[in-house]
Structure 1
Amino acid sequence: MQRDMASSEADYIIVGGGLTGCVVASCLKEADPNLDVLIIEAGADESNNEATKAFPTLFSLLDSDLDWSYKTTPQKNTADRVHPIHAGKALGGGSVTNFQGWSRGDARDYGQWARIVKDERWSYDGLLPYFRKSETFFDRDADAGQHGFEGPIHVTAVSEGPSGRKYPLREPIKEAWLQVGEAFNPDGCSGDLAGVCEFYESWHNGQRQPANVAYGLEGVRRITEALVHRVEFTETHGERIASGVVLADGRRFTARKEVILAAGALRTPQVLLLSGIGPAETLAKFDIPTVIDVPEVGRNLTDHFALYQIYKLRNPERGLALGSPVLSDPVFLQGFPCDWAVNQVVPREILEPALRRDEQYGHTTGDESLLIPGRPLVETLAVYASGGVPGVPTDGSVIMTSVMLLGATSRGLISISSADPTDPPLIDANYFDTEVDKVTLIHGARRTMQALLDTSAAKDYIEAEIPPPGMAALSARSTDAEFEARIRTTGLAHHHSSGTAAMGTVVDTDLRVKGVRNLRVVDASVLPISIGGHPQATLYAVAEQAAEIILQGTN
């Protein structure tokens, strides 16, 4: 059936044309071409913007018109600093602005998720068909039970595939980690994340694969540069039913079947609150009529908090990092300059006392599953570039490391500061609030310094840490207090926000918002815990399964 492209009605209205919104729209339309699917996206369609396509212009996208450029409130655990939070604002969302790292979480992460919500569809095995469906994996000899070879997203190891980049520090960095006791893991995207893993990426032939292009939106109606204000409801026999949305400019759109929120972990809870779904006391404060009192909306915010460090190279004239005239082959600019993701397990003797202290202090987001043997909780990347840090040389004389919490247990809050949809959400991230996060990040940072500064494999290449201005350099022998002080003064998030409309509290396991009908959430908001790895692989699988659940509900 031919639909009027300008119609104010649709079968499904998807609020947010980011990664998950585009995947759900594409899958719904592919499964039933007669469905009328409408995406409403606050950003523009940047498909023809050359800056979004290749790696060299990557950092120019941050704090541009393609970035929401959110700010947190002053954070009490990090010297009252206000933190930037980047989030894609374009058709394709974060897949247009992210760094294209590709890693699934550990199977134990998804196992905890499934136990919390009592639904095995969200376990690793439950999501595995959708992990496989979303990818075209580069290694045709890989385990077909773990990997897909016909999906929309091409996944490759940095050292393999069309760009085949082998950076000069590849083998020394790997050997350094082996010397401190980390094991080599031949496939970190197979449910077992721990160890020294190839850094997988979704750059393909040096080009980005945004969700709106990779999945294709043929036949899907799109309205861009349009901010959704709220969801509207009708009432039948005492039941609230989502009937459509109102835009910030007053336009209205009606949904015949469902409204699907896919605006991201920072914007989705704001839309819910502006729609009257959230803590009643917050809604009353801004004269928003309460549709349903859901205290958990906006709570449970988590992110992959990290410590970034800069290291001075010995004899940089050898061409060891980007910026060196020796490292001039254009192939080295066809993706993220990193060979390995090192996912570290924290020893039980460090972790268990911290978990007990958190229990004493009333922190409940950590549980015994953190102690499961083999579950990695912290990741290190060594990046062969300065990372765009202001004041740091870009001449190939330094590298940067990121030590990132995978299983963060600190929880923050998203709220609103007004009833105006054009005002940004109020973000209290509450980074680095738990003992578990503290000991985990300190352990990961110490081990990173041990590998890079204290091993025979790395000593001929890496000279010392370059500390931030006014601070003393750290080493593997620095005290816990010295590491903690550095983290609190300089630590930043990885912009992997999740959890603010969590499954089990705000949505059910079919992703339906509890207490109303015909309203779902399909984005990182629904993750009830911090999932390890870099989130896009998980979000593609979540969106693929969500589309199937939605279609099953229409039969």
Structure 2
Amino acid sequence: MASNTFDFVVVGGGPAGCTLATTLAKSAKKPSVLLIEAGGDNTDRNLRVSGQRFTAFMKPELNWGYKTTPQVDCAGRELDYSRGRGLGGSSAINFGVWSVGARDDYAEWARIVGDKAFDWENMQRRFKEVESFDPSLPEGVSTKYAAPKASDHGFSGPLKVGYAREFEDDFTEMIDIFEKGGWPLNPDHNSGNPIGMATVINSAQAGYHSTANDLLASKPENLTVVTNAPVQRLILEGTKVLGVEAKGTRYFASKEVVLSAGSLNSPSIMMHSGIGPVKQLEKFNIPVVRDIPAVGQNLRDHMFVPIVYQRKETSTSRPSFYGDAKAMEEALEQWKKDGSGNWSKYSSELGIGWKKLDGLESSPEFQSLPQDEQNLLRKETVPHYEVITHFPVHYFIPDITSSTHYSCFLVFYYNADSRGEVTLQSSDPNVPLLFNPRFLGSAFDRHVAVRALREVMELLKNEPYAKDTVASLAVPKSESDEDLLAYWQQYVGSSWHMTGTLKMGKRGDADAVVDNDFRFIGFDGLRVADMSVVPILGSCHVQAIAYITGATCAEKLIREYQLS
């Protein structure tokens, strides 16, 4: 066998790719597997400080640095569209929320593709297999704030997840404020029902941020990892995929090539291989192998806005840490010793909650949705919006300094109706696609965004919170529909949960390019296993879905090739 030929070639070292490659390689028949990654090895332990996970994306060597196109419904703004580069992929730069979403999401996935492999029972099993969950809570924090059932979690997987070693001083008080404001407390947002206010489970443990790179820690000999090798295109013989080309080097697969480069980069590889919308290919003189209009369509994402209030000096201890360079330096030295200290406390714990909007179903905006979307939004476990507490917004809004006594909430709206697209802008495969998520692009999206923001602001007027509020630092001018929408348009940000650009579905579905076995329809030897294939926008922070997308594809390949 040639040195550049493997049984399987997996493109992309993020959560899906690392899970897929390691699972295949560890199967009983031990096939040869190549995992090929565009970026570096990301082995520096100092990149894993739990409390610094909100700034990792600012390191250019870890981030593709993408931006959206100017958003028509967001004041013409180009929004940050960060994607992780290097082993670990976007798990190396994300904000560390480990959430699995709603069990009804997975029932919908199974329905769309006609395959129970994607239902909640099977997906939860895979979540449990990938995680090693530590349910420990800091001393003095009761089970009122977190009480997960062991039956909903895994304890021996390769990815370490759990709660922070310490909680910020006002954390439990903030959860109580939401409870008094009418939110039910959720003892475990990863039970399959995220509705209610909860203590976030982090993709971190003992102060150390976990990434997909951790799955490679016990890499078997039959798994080869090549870094700094961005794949530009597929090697084709008619409609048979033989391998991939990266920076002039060719790598071949005797069984399958699997793209796991993500919702923004996997479609790029397809288009630069001549597979995609014919008008785009012809515009940039890319020889057309097959006209597939759905390639690059159906882009979906979650989005959010921050709201920020100045607080009495006694209400938060953050400035004593973030406002003191010496304190941060000393804390970093402590973290390097044993993962403890203030860098495993501040920005290491979040309150997180999901909620339904009362009466949404009777609105004309809801009634205008396709029936399948209406049906999903009516399901018990599917939320309409999300709130996060304790976000370190001073990293993102220059006028709010590290010495400011503030509290920040992120308000997300879920299950957006808008669909965006990714499209070619060059014949050069090293030039990224154009990314247009079309945020706030429908009446339903604008309706939910306005109502969710108003609902959270109303809660924060209640005495338990308002008694310590000194001033508004970043809020809408008023609570009129017009001012709330204008605030979204001016301050909306992507959650980096890009999904759906090579959508999975049943063969014959007009918008499906991948079947339920992850095969790219119409080609032999090619599968896609990353967030680009996922046909739902999960009610969660989607890194967890990326891991089990890779795991599900691996299971199907192992069964098909009798590798177990």
- Same structural fold, with TM-score higher than 0.5 when normalized by the shorter chain: yes
Determine the C-alpha separation between the residues in 2 that align with 1:57 and 1:203.
10
Matched, 1:145 2:147: no
Determine the C-alpha separation between the residues in 1 that align with 2:25 and 2:380.
43
Matched, 1:26 2:22: yes
Does the Cα contact within 8 Å between 1:307 and 1:491 map onto a contact in 2? yes
Determine the C-alpha separation between the residues in 2 that align with 1:422 and 1:432.
30
Q: 1:129 to 1:358 in 2, by over 3 A?
A: closer
Matched, 1:100 2:110: no
* Secondary structure of the corresponding residue to residue 389 of structure 2: strand
Q: Aligned residue for 1:436?
A: 444
Q: 1:222 aligns with which of 210, 220, 225?
A: 225
Matched, 1:300 2:298: yes
Q: 1:64 aligns with which of 50, 54, 60?
A: 60
Q: Aligned residue for 2:337?
A: none
Q: Aligned residue for 1:171?
A: 172
Does the Cα contact within 8 Å between 1:77 and 1:430 map onto a contact in 2? yes
Percent of aligned positions that are identical:
28
* Secondary structure of the corresponding residue to residue 209 of structure 2: coil
- In the TM superposition, residue 101 of structure 1 has moved relative to its aligned partner by 0.8
Does the Cα contact within 8 Å between 2:422 and 2:434 map onto a contact in 1? yes
Q: Aligned residue for 2:409?
A: 401
Q: 1:351 to 1:372 in 2, by over 3 A?
A: farther
Does the Cα contact within 8 Å between 1:413 and 1:500 map onto a contact in 2? yes
The CA deviation string for residues 466-504 of structure 1, in whole angstroms up to 9 with x for no partner, is 137xxx644xxx112211111011111111111101111
Q: Aligned residue for 2:275?
A: 277
- In the TM superposition, residue 383 of structure 1 has moved relative to its aligned partner by 1.5
Q: 1:49 to 1:331 in 2, by over 3 A?
A: closer
- In the TM superposition, residue 315 of structure 1 has moved relative to its aligned partner by 2.2
The gaps in structure 1 that reach 5 residues or longer are: none
Determine the C-alpha separation between the residues in 1 that align with 2:10 and 2:260.
7
Q: 2:549 aligns with which of 533, 542, 552?
A: 542
- In the TM superposition, residue 60 of structure 1 has moved relative to its aligned partner by 4.6
Q: Aligned residue for 1:131?
A: 127
Does the Cα contact within 8 Å between 2:315 and 2:468 map onto a contact in 1? no
Q: Aligned residue for 1:480?
A: 481
Determine the C-alpha separation between the residues in 2 that align with 1:101 and 1:33.
35
Does the Cα contact within 8 Å between 1:386 and 1:392 map onto a contact in 2? yes
Q: 1:391 to 1:271 in 2, by over 3 A?
A: same
* Secondary structure of the corresponding residue to residue 98 of structure 1: coil
* Secondary structure of the corresponding residue to residue 106 of structure 2: helix
Determine the C-alpha separation between the residues in 1 that align with 2:443 and 2:315.
42
Q: Which moved more, 1:403-412 or 1:178-187?
A: 403-412
Q: Aligned residue for 1:211?
A: 212
Spell out the pairing of 1:321-470 with structure 2 (5 A cutoff): 323=322, 331-334=341-344, 336-349=347-360, 352-358=363-369, 366-383=373-390, 385-389=392-396, 390-452=398-460, 454-467=461-474
Does the Cα contact within 8 Å between 1:62 and 1:86 map onto a contact in 2? no
Determine the C-alpha separation between the residues in 1 that align with 2:445 and 2:278.
31
Amino acid across the alignment from 1:532: S
Determine the C-alpha separation between the residues in 2 that align with 1:36 and 1:119.
28
Determine the C-alpha separation between the residues in 2 that align with 1:234 and 1:343.
48
* Secondary structure of the corresponding residue to residue 136 of structure 1: strand
Determine the C-alpha separation between the residues in 1 that align with 2:472 and 2:169.
20
Q: 1:349 to 1:213 in 2, by over 3 A?
A: closer
* Secondary structure of the corresponding residue to residue 554 of structure 2: helix
Determine the C-alpha separation between the residues in 2 that align with 1:460 and 1:352.
34
Q: Aligned residue for 1:75?
A: 71
* Secondary structure of the corresponding residue to residue 208 of structure 2: coil
Give the count of matched residue pairs: 530
Q: Aligned residue for 1:259?
A: 257
Q: Aligned residue for 1:241?
A: 240
Does the Cα contact within 8 Å between 1:260 and 1:521 map onto a contact in 2? yes
Does the Cα contact within 8 Å between 2:446 and 2:485 map onto a contact in 1? yes
The gaps in structure 2 that reach 5 residues or longer are: 137-146, 332-339, 506-511
Determine the C-alpha separation between the residues in 2 that align with 1:60 and 1:108.
33
Does the Cα contact within 8 Å between 1:352 and 1:371 map onto a contact in 2? no
Determine the C-alpha separation between the residues in 2 that align with 1:508 and 1:60.
35
Determine the C-alpha separation between the residues in 2 that align with 1:344 and 1:31.
41
Does the Cα contact within 8 Å between 2:57 and 2:94 map onto a contact in 1? no
The CA deviation string for residues 192-224 of structure 1, in whole angstroms up to 9 with x for no partner, is 110011111011111122212234333221221
Determine the C-alpha separation between the residues in 2 that align with 1:495 and 1:309.
19
Amino acid across the alignment from 2:445: D
* Secondary structure of the corresponding residue to residue 12 of structure 1: strand
- In the TM superposition, residue 58 of structure 1 has moved relative to its aligned partner by 4.5
Q: Which moved more, 1:526-535 or 1:316-325?
A: 316-325
Amino acid across the alignment from 2:556: I
Amino acid across the alignment from 2:152: Q
Q: 1:186 to 1:327 in 2, by over 3 A?
A: farther
TM-score computed with the length of structure 1 as normaliser: 0.90
- In the TM superposition, residue 411 of structure 1 has moved relative to its aligned partner by 1.1
Determine the C-alpha separation between the residues in 2 that align with 1:117 and 1:262.
19
Q: 2:37 aligns with which of 30, 41, 45?
A: 41
* Secondary structure of the corresponding residue to residue 354 of structure 1: helix
Determine the C-alpha separation between the residues in 1 that align with 2:327 and 2:540.
29
The CA deviation string for residues 513-532 of structure 1, in whole angstroms up to 9 with x for no partner, is 01111111111101112111
Amino acid across the alignment from 1:517: D
Determine the C-alpha separation between the residues in 2 that align with 1:26 and 1:71.
31
TM-score computed with the length of structure 2 as normaliser: 0.89
* Secondary structure of the corresponding residue to residue 435 of structure 2: strand
Does the Cα contact within 8 Å between 2:158 and 2:214 map onto a contact in 1? no
Does the Cα contact within 8 Å between 1:377 and 1:405 map onto a contact in 2? yes
Q: 1:142 to 1:83 in 2, by over 3 A?
A: closer
The CA deviation string for residues 269-322 of structure 1, in whole angstroms up to 9 with x for no partner, is 111111122112222222222222221111010111111122211225762565
The CA deviation string for residues 6-52 of structure 1, in whole angstroms up to 9 with x for no partner, is x2111111111112111111111111463111111110112125234
Amino acid across the alignment from 1:355: F
- In the TM superposition, residue 268 of structure 1 has moved relative to its aligned partner by 0.4
* Secondary structure of the corresponding residue to residue 366 of structure 1: helix
